[in-house]
Amino acid sequence: MSLPNKKILVVDDDHKIVDLAKMYLEKDGYRVMAAYDGRAALELARREHPALIVLDLLLPEMDGRDVCRALRAESNVPIIMLTARTEDADKLVGLELGADDYITKPCNFRELVARVRAVLRRTSARENEPTEAIAVGDLTIDFTAHEVRLEDRVVELTPAEFELLAFFARSPGRTWTRAQILDQVFGESYEGYERSVDVHIKNLRRKIETDPQNPRYIQTVFGVGYKFRRRDDEN
């Protein structure tokens, strides 16, 4: 079930893809805006503040990568990247730039709608989150405010990054495999594979670690996966 009246911005230079995405999303209850090049998309996103953006990777006027970079510099709006490329390295491009999910073309539009629902649900649903903040070292995760602070500075995270950090922080010291993280954090509708987890963690470490190469908070357990440090662990 969709979140009623949520505005979705669909960006692709292929008018047929935009029209079909618009039809499927509107049928599910969303309000859909469209843009056909990168500059128009960025202007529309800044003016209309959509709840989510479906963004093609290759666009005229301004490339989708540059649009994503510009948006991430000023907003945490959820982004689902569209790409016609199928190689693993190309699939990771959007995640490296801070996208929350991706889908490859040709699109299965029912799957696109499911993906939009899932990302918005992760962004909006807080019923099961603890109300207290968790503080470890200089890092504070405030579940009520949906805010992360490093010392006195607010850390701007994407919705996917916040969900991932919150997931780790709830089970300090427990080691999770990549497959478990994909299942627990992103769910079955996520078209991810295990390397996607590494990209999200790499992006997260850049923002919360003083030295991302020697992380204090999200630690690698070689040959297994990742864990979040306990409060009483040595710095």
The domain 133-228 is placed in CATH, from the list 1.10.10.10, 3.40.50.1240, 3.30.70.1060, 1.10.3720.10, at 1.10.10.10
> Is the predicted pLDDT of residue 80 greater than 70, yes or no?
yes
For residues 45 and 53, is the Cβ–Cβ distance under 8 A? yes
For residues 230 and 175, is the Cβ–Cβ distance under 8 A? no
Q: What is the pLDDT confidence band of residue 192, given thresholds at 50, 70 and 90?
A: low
Q: What rounded mean pLDDT belongs to the chain?
A: 85
Residues of the chain with CATH 3.40.50.2300: 7-124
> Is the predicted pLDDT of residue 105 greater than 90, yes or no?
no
Residues of the chain with CATH 1.10.10.10: 133-228
Strands 101-104, 31-35: pairing is unpaired
The pLDDT of residue 171 is: 86
Mean pLDDT, to the nearest integer, of 219-228? 92
The Cα 159–Cα 124 span in angstroms is 9
> Is the predicted pLDDT of residue 59 greater than 90, yes or no?
yes
Top-confidence residue, 40 or 190: 40
Residue 48 has φ and ψ, to the nearest 5°, of: -100, -15
Percent over 90 (pLDDT), the chain: 44
> Per-residue pLDDT tens for 122-162?
776 544 555 578 888 889 998 877 889 998 899 998 888 88
For residues 190 and 135, is the Cβ–Cβ distance under 8 A? no
Greatest Cα pair distance, the chain, in angstroms, is: 56
The pLDDT of residue 1 is: 46
Judge: domain 7-124, CATH 3.40.50.2300. Answer: yes
